[in-house]
Amino acid sequence: MLQPGLMMDRPLLISDVIEHGAAQFGDVEVVSRETHGPLFRYTYAQCAARARKLANALKHLGLEAGSAVGSIAWNNHRHLEAYYAVSGSGMVMHTCNPRLHPQQLIYIINHAEDSVILFDSTFAALVKGVAPHCPKVKAWVCMSDAANMPAVISATQGVDNVLCYEDLIAPQSEQFNWPQFDERTGAALCYTSGTTGNPKGVLYSHRAIVLSAMAGCMPGSISLSPKDTVLPVVPMFHINAWCIPYAAPMGGAKLVLPGPRLDGASLYELIETEKVTVSAGVPTIWLALLHHVEQHGLRFSTMRRTGVGGSAMPAALIAKFADEYDVEVRHGWGMTETTATATIGCLATKHMNLTPAEQHAVIAKQGKSVFGVEIKVMDENGTTLPRDGVSQGELMVRGQWILTGYYKGETSPLVDGWFPTGDIATIDASGVMQIRDRAKDVIKTGGEWISSIDLENVAVGHPAVAMAAVIGVKHPKWDERPLLFIVRKPGQTVEREEILAFLTERVAKWWVPDDVIFLDALPVGGTGKVQKADLRKQYGGVFS
């Protein structure tokens, strides 16, 4: 007969994370770019104390366990305090993506039933627009001190109940007894910015967040230790900033929050002045950073590692980071539905004797599932495909921090207990996963599949190309054929024939796009990803 172990039965709670930071890394710094410009700095001990003050303030506003608190905010120290105060109190931290269309923002605030919204002064005008449509929000708290409150909002201008964060927490006690409850309780809520239909909410549990943060600390993942200083550029409104705000105090790393300044120059300055050793963000951020660094002939003094996800990192960028700047890319994969990282790659002992180019090819894949997550690929008939690195199918995930269903959703998205990701992938014999395409972006031509991502990666390898996107366009004979969009680098004049010749040398003949369209910019959505749906709408006619 099974017998219980004789171990203490304590829930994994988010309040434990910040209290661990306060108790064991109380003197380690958090540095935060204020929205109005200057750097703010304090310690995990002080962060915990202010999180407790905020928890008291929320209670004082009449909120209780189970209430939802929204945020429309940059990565900064007040947002960090809210992460801990809200979830630690048994409330739900709902991080809103300010890049959503206002109608979507109204939808998610009402759908989540947010009682309070914390917002950065940057978004005052946005709040002014949405507030009248969110009748259940009791208070709109501007994450600012009194001196820097935005003028655009006040009761006389149509938004009731605007409060100032610093004034709100000032009178509160630094003591707060974090409630103890089931670790499976909802802690945070994030909506997918789906391109069709309303956004769908994913309700993360304390357990899921704590476990994925532990996994994120591991040396084969982002790797966070007391020797590290970590800069999450990935937004705190985007999948919990891949749980780095939780992982940093767990691992004892100094935390640097960039606020609203995400341009290459600002990030570079922050990396150098704060001695950042590891960063994390989407490829477009790193493109801009490297552009700045190259343009000014700069070096990274301390940064040695960067976590990349959100979309595939082009091999050329991996090579540039590694070969020219001695920065190791940790290329991962995850989505709103997976809390944080589901897979990530890093070089292993067996790769040490490979050439740099061979090593970059390893890193260009999305790596292995971290402990706590299982992966497989499945064909359209529900058959699990072999791990041969060739068989393409839909990536299925299962594990400790994978969703079971959407918030207030009526139907389960799971297939036999696994979450179908909508991504097309391969897995090789050593367990390395590679995203080949989004299921909806893959180009089906003559009964075969062309990966739009693979084509884009080859195209951006051309020295005159800044960005590339490929969509499938209906074709009377082949079903679909690829159409390539190119954004040239500044001052470059490359034309259609040269691009097609470049591709012809590098891909199968039937992969070569039927046409090339040059644009000044690609349409980019709320999370920084290229919106292929927009390209399809405008250009997706029929090839003749």
Nearer to a second copy, 64 or 269 (CB): 64
Question: Backbone dihedral region of 146: left (phi > 0), alpha (psi from -120 to 50 degrees) or beta?
Answer: alpha
Nearer to a second copy, 211 or 442 (CB): 211
* Under 8 Å between Cβ of 339 and 402: yes
Which pair of structure tokens corresponds to residue 249? 């105090």
In the region spanning residues 330 to 389, those forming contacts with a second copy, defined by CB under 8 A, are 339, 346-350, 352, 368-369, 371, 374
Nearer to a second copy, 243 or 262 (CB): 243
Nearer to a second copy, 214 or 262 (CB): 214
Which pair of structure tokens corresponds to residue 517? 């369209």
| Amino acid letter for position 342 | A
Query: What element of type H or E holds 473?
Result: strand 465-475
In the region spanning residues 94 to 153, those forming contacts with a second copy, defined by CB under 8 A, are none
Let me know the angle formed at the C-alpha of 203 by 193 and 332, rounded to the nearest 5 degrees. 60
What gap in Å lies between CA 444 and CA 62, rounded to an integer?
Answer: 55
Q: How large is the greatest C-alpha to C-alpha distance in the chain, in angstroms?
A: 75
In the region spanning residues 55 to 74, those forming contacts with a second copy, defined by CB under 8 A, are 65-66
Q: Does 7 bind a second copy (CB under 8 A)?
A: yes
Nearer to a second copy, 208 or 458 (CB): 208
Please identify, among the stretches 288-296, 395-403, 448-456, 484-492, the one whose residues bind a second copy according to the rule CB under 8 A. Answer: 395-403
Q: Which residues pair with 281 in a beta bridge?
A: 308
* Under 8 Å between Cβ of 140 and 117: yes
In the region spanning residues 228 to 257, those forming contacts with a second copy, defined by CB under 8 A, are 228-229, 250-252, 254
Nearer to a second copy, 128 or 365 (CB): 365
Q: Does 301 bind a second copy (CB under 8 A)?
A: no
Q: Does 273 bind a second copy (CB under 8 A)?
A: no
Distance (Å) of CA 390 to CA 330, 432, 435, 436, 539: 23, 12, 11, 10, 31
**Of these, 129, 220, 386, 523, which contacts a second copy (CB under 8 A)?**
220
Catalytic residues: 192, 337, 444, 449
**Of these, 112, 202, 484, 512, which contacts a second copy (CB under 8 A)?**
202
**Of these, 103, 195, 198, 430, which contacts a second copy (CB under 8 A)?**
430
How many other C-beta atoms lie within 10 A of the C-beta of residue 156? 6
Q: Taking the complex as a whole, how short is the minimal distance between the CB of residue 204 and a second copy, in angstroms?
A: 6
- The number of residues that bind a second copy (CB under 8 A) is 82
Please identify, among the stretches 49-57, 69-77, 217-225, 449-457, the one whose residues bind a second copy according to the rule CB under 8 A. Answer: 217-225
Query: What element of type H or E holds 128?
Result: helix 124-130
Q: Does 2 bind a second copy (CB under 8 A)?
A: yes
* Under 8 Å between Cβ of 106 and 30: no
Q: Does 400 bind a second copy (CB under 8 A)?
A: yes
Query: Would you call 66 helix, strand, or coil by DSSP?
Result: coil
In the region spanning residues 431 to 450, those forming contacts with a second copy, defined by CB under 8 A, are 431
Nearer to a second copy, 278 or 467 (CB): 278
DSSP string, 251-266: HT-EEEE-BT--SHHH
In the region spanning residues 13 to 52, those forming contacts with a second copy, defined by CB under 8 A, are 16-17, 20, 23-28
Please identify, among the stretches 98-106, 133-141, 168-176, 427-435, the one whose residues bind a second copy according to the rule CB under 8 A. Answer: 427-435
Instruction: Give the contact letters, 154-193, x = binds to a second copy (CB under 8 A), - = no.
Output: ---------------------------xx-xxxx------
| Amino acid letter for position 295 | Q
Pairing of strands 515-519, 433-438: unpaired
Q: Taking the complex as a whole, how short is the minimal distance between the CB of residue 2 and a second copy, in angstroms?
A: 5
* Under 8 Å between Cβ of 60 and 172: yes
What gap in Å lies between CA 92 and CA 59, rounded to an integer?
Answer: 13
